[in-house]
Amino acid sequence: MAGVTIKTVQQRAERVQIILPVLKRMYPDAKCSLNHTNPFELLIATILSAQCTDDRVNIVTKDLFRKYRSAAELARVAQEELEKDIQSTGFFRNKAKSLRGMATALAEKHGGQVPAEMESLTSLPGVGRKTANVVLGNAFGKNEGVVVDTHVGRISQRLGLTKHDDPVKIEQDLMQVIPQEDWALWSHLLIYHGRRVCQARKPKCDVCELAKWCPSAGSV
């Protein structure tokens, strides 16, 4: 974060007003990269995505979604069998436990349906605020928060929009300055930008269209 000066809320909001249209123009097709056809599939994929690439998750869920089509089916599977199904995503024992617990809760308390409320989602086993934000924003079109992954956190810091490392505090800073209707999209835009330009080890500041407004350009 060398050279980054954290501005007032108004100054940060003004910076967002400038760079957000640029990001939208750069990545017009930005969207959730986890394959899914319904909220239940997205919830599964998001739980699996922890410490795992989206590409790997999409490979695993291609078969997983065919095998387990409902919360009841997923709740009934043996722990050991589910572990084998998702082993390549890493941390598979904990993930299998979370998936089975989540599915059991859906079947017993929500009629097998994924709830569309933050409080209900975060009460499910293995579902934190970040996962709930992904599901609400992408499956239900509800902008109740900003998903803060490593790309979003890193680039938001570099752009001078937050000084924090804690994802919860970063999210609070971003919700102050990003229009609510763009909360879900913001995450997709920064993930795309982080993969293609503003990479962790060696950002491509010389070709970055945001460089003129970025206080970290050339100093990372």
Distance from C-alpha of 59 to C-alpha of 77, rounded to nearest angstrom: 20
Active-site residue set: 130, 149
CB atoms within 10 A of CB 35: 15
Q: What is the 3-state secondary structure (H, E, C) of the chain?
A: CCCCCCCCHHHHHHHHHHHHHHHHHHCCCCCCCCCCCCHHHHHHHHHHCCCCCHHHHHHHHHHHHHHCCCHHHHHHCCHHHHHHHHHHHCCHHHHHHHHHHHHHHHHHHCCCCCCCCHHHHHCCCCCCHHHHHHHHHHHCCCCCCCCCCHHHHHHHHHCCCCCCCCHHHHHHHHHHHCCHHHHHHHHHHHHHHHHHCCCCCCCCHHHCCCHHHCCCCCCC
Phi-psi region of 112 (alpha: psi -120 to 50; beta: other; left: phi over 0): left
